[in-house]
Chains A and B, each alone.
Chain A
């Protein structure tokens, strides 16, 4: 048998109140060691207070070739943003 350990994506919460953020990946034979490997690789400099790992193969990603249909339609929906609306300057707190 000559097989690579599966790849896991690592997400770190850098401090309380923040979301987990993708920081990289590790190889591990199982989920428990994946957490340990993530800890020993990505939090050696006090980078985090919490870790997530997920098998890379389990991540479902959008197709970059479909980036147009996926994301371009949002471009002209400027009315979703507060700056779209004109409020007279003398009106405060809005």
Chain B
């Protein structure tokens, strides 16, 4: 489960909130503030609906595109156990994408519309999946770091204000509990393995560390939507809070593996009870958001190809059902 809030400030939103019926808006805000759930047919401000569609569909796209980097190693998993576990994990990601698309559909956007937005490049997905998986250790690193970062994000979303989203997240969190552990288990085997395996493990950490920190999105001062989203309980912690929490939890795990976190500025800060760490390369982050990630083209090409190649299957099934219905009516 992966989500990053990557929206730019949306001037239309402010205007549309202004355009809403003040009494309805006030009642809505009061319900959300009281931690009540909003359900599909309830009245909601247009901006809330649009923000949710963007966030949930981005989330869903990230799951689906996220199947690709790990799927890249499915045929090469080094043991039958690892193969089965990885297949189950990647399948889960497909399932999570499915749950999330369904949650977004309750807001009045069809899955096909969302998928087309992804394929046209209009919709975004988590930046992390535009990096390549070069060795088997990358599969460990993704489970450990990427799923670890995702868990930070998604656990609070189980209490998000939109009911269908919150319910999808509950299921997702329950199912994902094994994902990070399987990744860390791979890292343990690699870090304690042959010199080549250790080198692969360190190399994977070197490549995935910073992109993992980027998964939490822009720093708080550059995240103008955060305040509104938090007020609406669509988001429950700020990007920087979650990033800090992730670093504090993950550094000792790297130490246990005997691996070095690739950040010369990383140092324990006794006063704040957490680590100080270096600045994320935000230019790289924004480049990947723009769609310039190293394998962004490959990811999009794979998704479009699967969708286009499958068009005749989806159509055939509908054609068959139409024939059957016609025969039953005759």
A-B contact count (CB 8 A): 50
**Chain A interface extent, by class:** 20 to 34
* Contact across chains for A33 and B317 when beta carbons are under 8 A apart: yes
B residues 49-106 near A (Cβ < 8 Å) are 91, 95, 98-99, 102, 105
> Is A83 positioned at the interface, with any CB of B under 8 Å from its CB?
no
* Contact across chains for B110 and A4 when beta carbons are under 8 A apart: yes
- A29 to B319: give the CA distance in the assembly, Å: 9
Closest A residue to B105 using CB positions: A7
- Give chain B's interface secondary structure class: helix
* Contact across chains for B320 and A30 when beta carbons are under 8 A apart: yes
Interface 9-residue window, one of B38-46, B199-207, B239-247: B38-46
Contact of B321 (CB < 8 Å), options: A29, A44, A64, A65? A29
Interface size on B, residues (CB 8 A): 26
Contact of A27 (CB < 8 Å), options: B41, B43, B95, B111? B111
Output the least CB separation between A35 and chain B (Å): 14
A residues 1-49 near B (Cβ < 8 Å) are 1-5, 7, 23-27, 29-30, 33, 41, 44-45
* Contact across chains for B318 and A24 when beta carbons are under 8 A apart: no
Task: Report B-chain residues with C-beta under 8 Å of the C-beta of A57.
Answer: none
> Is A76 positioned at the interface, with any CB of B under 8 Å from its CB?
no
Task: Report A-chain residues with C-beta under 8 Å of the C-beta of B95.
Answer: 41, 44
* Contact across chains for A64 and B102 when beta carbons are under 8 A apart: no
> Is B315 positioned at the interface, with any CB of A under 8 Å from its CB?
yes
Q: Mark B255-273, 1 if CB is under 8 A from A, else 0.
A: 0000000000000000000
> What is the interface of chain A, defined by CB distance below 8 A to chain B?
1-5, 7, 23-27, 29-30, 33, 41, 44-45, 61, 63-65
> What is the interface of chain B, defined by CB distance below 8 A to chain A?
39, 41-43, 91, 95, 98-99, 102, 105, 110-112, 167-168, 171, 175, 311, 314-315, 317-321, 324
